[in-house]
């Protein structure tokens, strides 16, 4: 599985999930670059780290940073408690992560969440163009690589 296939799969789930308005794949500073985004949304940081690459088994582990964002502007703070907004976004994130997990089990997809029993979420509030609430998870995804060795043709000297 390539990173393109993995991001496509995340996007498929994000589009299908009720209450989530798609996926953005990019740099963290891009989250506030467009005011007309529909929230809540999933943001995948494209600064992905590959670790644990095993040339023998052709597997690799991608460290993905998934952030779930929703608007929480000042007027809404007056009527909606922050713990209520957090609860709603936490449920949305958990539903997404469970679906991602179940898809690889049910469909035999070539990935596995390595740290599924110890996921850690971090809350942040952003004060930029809009006031946003963010819940971020770092996932370690083990994938089967597609690299085939021994396919080069070397010239004879």
Q: What tens-digit pLDDT sequence spans the chain (157 residues)?
A: 788 888 998 999 999 999 999 899 998 888 877 677 889 999 999 998 887 766 766 778 889 999 999 988 888 888 988 899 999 999 999 999 999 888 876 666 677 888 888 888 888 876 566 688 999 999 988 887 666 666 777 788 7
Burial of 67-81, coded b for 16+ CB within 10 Å and e otherwise, reads: bbbbebeeeeeeeee
> How crowded is residue 99: how many other Cβ atoms within 10 Å of its Cβ?
14
Give the pTM: 0.84
Instruction: Enumerate helices (H) and strands (E) in the chain, giving the number of each.
Output: 3, 7
Q: What whole-number distance in Å separates Cα of residue 138 and Cα of residue 48? A: 10
Cis amide linkage into residue 40, ω under 30° from 0: yes
> According to the CATH classification, is domain 3-144 in 3.30.2000?
yes
Query: What six digits make up the tokens of 149?
Result: 């060795």
Q: Are strands 121-127 and 59-71 parallel, antiparallel or unpaired?
A: unpaired
């Amino acid at each position: 599985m390539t990173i393109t296939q993995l991001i496509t799969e995340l996007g498929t789930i994000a589009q299908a999930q009720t209450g989530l308005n798609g996926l953005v794949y990019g740099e963290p500073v891009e989250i506030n670059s467009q005011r007309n985004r529909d929230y809540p949304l999933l943001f995948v940081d494209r600064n992905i780290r590959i670790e644990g690459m095993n040339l023998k088994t052709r597997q690799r582990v991608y460290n993905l940073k998934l952030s779930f964002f929703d608007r929480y502007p000042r007027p809404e703070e007056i009527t909606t408690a922050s713990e209520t907004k957090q609860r709603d976004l936490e449920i949305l994130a958990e539903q997404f992560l469970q679906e991602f997990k179940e898809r690889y089990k049910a469909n035999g997809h070539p990935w596995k969440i390595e740290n599924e029993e110890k996921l850690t979420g971090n809350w942040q509030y952003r004060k930029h163009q809009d006031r946003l609430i963010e819940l971020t998870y770092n996932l370690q995804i083990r994938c089967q690589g597609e690299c085939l060795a021994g396919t080069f043709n070397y010239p004879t000297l």
